[in-house]
Amino acid sequence: MRKWIKALPVVALLFMTVIAQAEEKPKVIRIGAGGNSLNLPKSSGATGWVDEQGLLEKEFAKDGIKIERTYYKSMGPGQNEAIASGLIDFGSAGDLVLVVGRAGGLPYKIISTSGAGGGNVYIQVNPASGIKSLKDLKGKRIGYAKGTYLQLCFVRILDAIGLTEKDIKGVNLISSDQIAALATNSVDAIVSNSDRPLVDQGVAQLLFDTRKYPQFKGGPGAIFVTEAFANKYPDITKRVLKTLLKGYYWASKPENQDAIIASSVKTGGTYKHIKADQIGSLPPKEKYDPTITPEVLKGYQEIIDFSVKSGIIRRKYNVNELFDLRFQGPALKELGYDKYWVHK
């Protein structure tokens, strides 16, 4: 009995330590996202719906945890810079952004894809440039956002015709600056996403469209979290992911496609191009499938290998270094989505 009494302070201390650890929570969850051409604090698609509905705010209100979002005009590369400076905990970015960041030692992991659809890519040219075919791009000034999926897709297109980035004059332009650069003859062509107002106006011509050549379109982007946050707050990490997965489930429903298009227009896109991109791609359930499959892992490894081969990154590494598979399986099961996205 006396031994037990003497042991009480030690037991109490251990109990208090366990409780303290169990209740440890961050005061704020800092989330990064890509900006838009209107410089509005807004996203589109599945994560845009989560933001509009305030789902993260509602999820963590009872914990007194604040949600802090930052939208980066330079898209994924801006989020990489934020990670390097310790400014965000979570983010969503394209495949090449994350491959490049991890190769450079950034301490984050992918915990979910942001849909299997990937992004279509378009090459628009100035008629005065004399560019009539992909081969004519050699020696020309080409504007594209370096470090993003647009660069990866473009380099793959060049590789297919026997060219490299060294054969063109690459100009690093974020999406919101591309249109003005092409219109003022500052570049001869741009590698862009769906918006093509200059083509509509007859100022530019469409040279290449990955809807016709889907092997060159962007791969799945991803949701990432810093290793420090995931290791310190694993339960919070899973709750953030569960909330985001609700967005992908909502976006996967055919009846919600008009709302997704309307949301994208609010971020600066052109309605007819966004609609054509949305309808002309994969079925919604497949397009917004966020699951990490063996095919996803294989695809990311191929991006790593190609990026080394093409000189985009120097360090080759195994894809498992980029992914953390602890969270998605349990999150899908708890939401009842584990049998919703079924893969053969």
Question: Of 216, 240, 264, which residue is a domain's last?
Answer: 216
Six token digits for residue 231: 């290791």
Instruction: Look at residue 3 and tell me if it is in a domain.
Output: no
Higher-scoring residue by pLDDT: 273, 111 = 111
341 within domain boundaries: no
Looking at the structure, tell me whether residues 97 and 183 fall in a common domain.
Answer: no
| CATH number of the domain that residue 141 is part of | 3.40.190.10
One-letter amino acid for residue 316 of the chain:
K
Q: What is the pLDDT of residue 340?
A: 96
How much is the mean pLDDT over the chain?
87
Cα dihedral across residues 238, 242, 243, 244: positive or negative: positive
Which DSSP string do the residues of 116-180 spell out, in sequence order?
Answer: S-----EEEE-GGGT--SGGGGTTSEEEE-TTSHHHHHHHHHHHHTT--GGGSEEEE--HHHHHH
Shared domain check, 271 and 251: yes
Q: Distance (Å, rounded) from C-alpha 121 to C-alpha 176? A: 15
3-state helix/strand/coil string of 24-74: CCCCEEEEEEECCCCCCCCCCHHHHHHHHHCHHHHHHHCCCCEEEEEEECC
Residue 9 lies in a domain: no
Clarify whether residues 132 and 176 are in a common domain: yes
71 and 160 within one domain: no
- Residues 128 and 207 occupy one common structural domain: yes
Split at pLDDT 50, 70, 90, the class of 52 is confident
- For the chain, the residue count is 344
Question: Nearest-CA neighbor of 327 among 229, 256, 249?
Answer: 229
Look at residue 118 and tell me whether its pLDDT is greater than 80. Answer: no
Looking at the fold, whether 293 and 204 belong to one and the same domain comes out as no
Confidence of residue 281 (pLDDT cuts 50, 70, 90): low
Residue 307 domain flag: yes
340 located within any domain: no
- Its domain, for residue 328, covers 16-117+219-335
In a shared domain, residues 42 and 138: no
Enter the tokens of residue 255: 């009846």
What pTM did the predictor assign? 0.86
* Lowest-confidence pick of 16-20, 36-40, 138-142, 287-291: 16-20
Last residue of a domain, one of 191, 216, 241: 216
- Note whether 109 and 226 are same-domain residues: yes
**For position 36, what pLDDT does the model report?**
64
Higher pLDDT, 73 or 63: 63
Q: Is residue 344 in some structural domain?
A: no
pLDDT 10s digits, 195-219: 677 888 888 999 999 888 988 988 8
**Residue 331's pLDDT is what?**
98
Report the pLDDT value the prediction gives residue 60, as an integer from 0 to 100.
97
Residues 112 and 241 in one domain: yes
- For 105, phi then psi, to 5°, come to 95, 10
Tokens 């659809």 belong to residue: 117
Same domain, 226 and 331: yes
Q: Is residue 127 part of a domain?
A: yes
- Tokens describing residue 343: 């893969």
Mean pLDDT for the stretch of residues 80-90 = 96
Same domain, yes or no, for 111 and 203? no
Question: Residue 280 carries which DSSP code?
Answer: T
Domain final position from 216, 231, 252: 216
pLDDT digits (tens, 9 = 90+) for 125-159: 999 999 999 999 999 999 999 988 899 999 999 99
Q: Is residue 342 part of a domain?
A: no
CA distance 38 to 53: 21
Please state the rounded mean pLDDT for residues 315-333.
97
Condensed to tens digits (0 to 9), the pLDDT of residues 24-41 reads: 899 999 999 886 666 666
Q: Using the 8-state DSSP alphabet, how is residue 319 labeled?
A: G
257 vs 169 pLDDT, higher one: 169
Tell me the C-alpha distance between 8 and 2, whole Å: 10
Residues 113 and 229 in one domain: yes
8 A C-beta contact, residue 240 and residue 91: no
pLDDT score recorded for residue 9: 44
Q: How many domains would you assign to the chain?
A: 2
